[in-house]
Structure 1
Amino acid sequence: MGAGMETMKPPPGVADPRSLRRVCGRFATGVAVIGACAPQGRAVGLTVNSFASLSLEPPLIVWSLARHSPNAALFTPGAPFGVNILRAGQGELARRFATPQADKFAGVPHWRCPHGVPYLDEALARLSCRVERADPAGDHLLIVGAVEDLAASDGEPLVFYGGDFVRVAA
């Protein structure tokens, strides 16, 4: 380090993951299920609240996935995936896709595109994407998706706030 430079230390509590999670939990987010197709055609689904629009021109979205996820290898450049934006009342569905299970889609109404990507029948909205890039950032991968198709219906979104699902006030 140069003369006069001091090591900057984060304020107390910033490096504590639980504190960071509690503070970030004060930011309300929508909830989505990311769908992909694993080898041998197995449908994969995982719940995220890190989804966001990134760019309108070109149409890009972004979300994050834990680097240690057993599904991380599915999200390489060019790989197809889908975003199912959940509607109010689908909290149990969000929990189902957030919990490890052999077949998360068993008994859940869904359909598959020609690439094998699963989409939930009752989602509020959906986006069909291809991985533009997947970059390591801390303990997660930032996945940027190029939007290729989309659809939406009327209704209220499922919202996550403070560690639980809440309703949006009109």
Structure 2
Amino acid sequence: MYDLQFRPGESIVVDADDPAAVHAARHFRDVLGRFASGVTVVTAVDDGTPVGLTCQSFSSVSLDPPLVLFVPSRASRAWPAIRRAGSFCVNFLADGQQALSNQMASRGEDKFAGVGWRPAPATGSPLLDGTLGYVDCRVQTVHEAGDHDVVIGRVLDLGTPDEGGPDHPLLFFRGQYDTTRG
């Protein structure tokens, strides 16, 4: 078997003895990697414990009612806890927060060690320090999609940092972090 790194903290397993499967998986990764995406950390509090995961698959869905979506892997250790919590906060990472992205993508026991945060206004989910913005949500629906779930969240609150906060997003492009900073 061959682990093919897909994005921070996530991989797919391909049979290394099947050259066509390895090629197809690499081609899929390479083509989709040309689509730059913002990097988010989705957080919640489950039974008094903060949980989080790094997620690039995030989008707005609807203005009326206000809905967003994120797409966690079903293999994620944090996703079941977020689902149990029934609410979540999507934190938009800023340029310079690569270490935070990697920490939240890890399989470590305490992903919040050394991470500054405060409770989000509506749900109490972790609102991470130094981010570009946040969207605080209640889980509305979950749809199965292959080896991932598509989570639709009803927006309860959202915001951006005070004046003087970060200006540039953390992006993921062609298998590595990037930014809009010139």
Measured against the shorter chain, the TM-score band is 0.7 to 0.9
Q: d(CA) in 1 for partners of 2:145 and 2:22?
A: 17
Q: d(CA) in 2 for partners of 1:63 and 1:35?
A: 12
Query: 1:63 and 2:70 equivalent?
Result: yes
Which residues of structure 1 form unaligned runs of 5+?
1-11
Q: d(CA) in 1 for partners of 2:60 and 2:49?
A: 27
Alignment length (residue pairs): 158
TM-score (norm 1): 0.84
Residue from 97, 113, 129 that aligns with 1:90: 97
The residue aligned with 1:166 is 178
Measured at CA, do residues 105 and 75 of structure 1 come closer, stay the same or move farther in structure 2, by a change above 3 Å? closer
Which residues of structure 2 form unaligned runs of 5+?
1-19
Could you list the per-position Cα deviations for residues 27-46 of structure 1 after superposition, in whole angstroms to 9, with x for gaps in the alignment?
Answer: 0000000001122x110011
SS in 2 for 1:19: helix
The residue aligned with 1:100 is 107
TM-score (norm 2): 0.79
Task: Give the CA deviation at 1:169.
Answer: 5.4
User: What fraction of aligned residue pairs are identical, expressed as a percent?
Assistant: 39
> Given that residues 74 and 148 in structure 2 are in contact (C-alpha distance below 8 angstroms), is that contact kept between their aligned partners in structure 1?
yes
Q: Which has the higher contact order (CA 8 A, sep 6+)?
A: 1
Task: Give the CA deviation at 1:26.
Answer: 0.4
Q: d(CA) in 2 for partners of 1:141 and 1:79?
A: 14
Could you list the per-position Cα deviations for residues 87-141 of structure 1 after superposition, in whole angstroms to 9, with x for gaps in the alignment?
Answer: 1111111111111111111111111247441110111101110111111001100
Q: d(CA) in 1 for partners of 2:127 and 2:146?
A: 29
Name which one, 1 or 2, has greater alpha-carbon Rg.
1
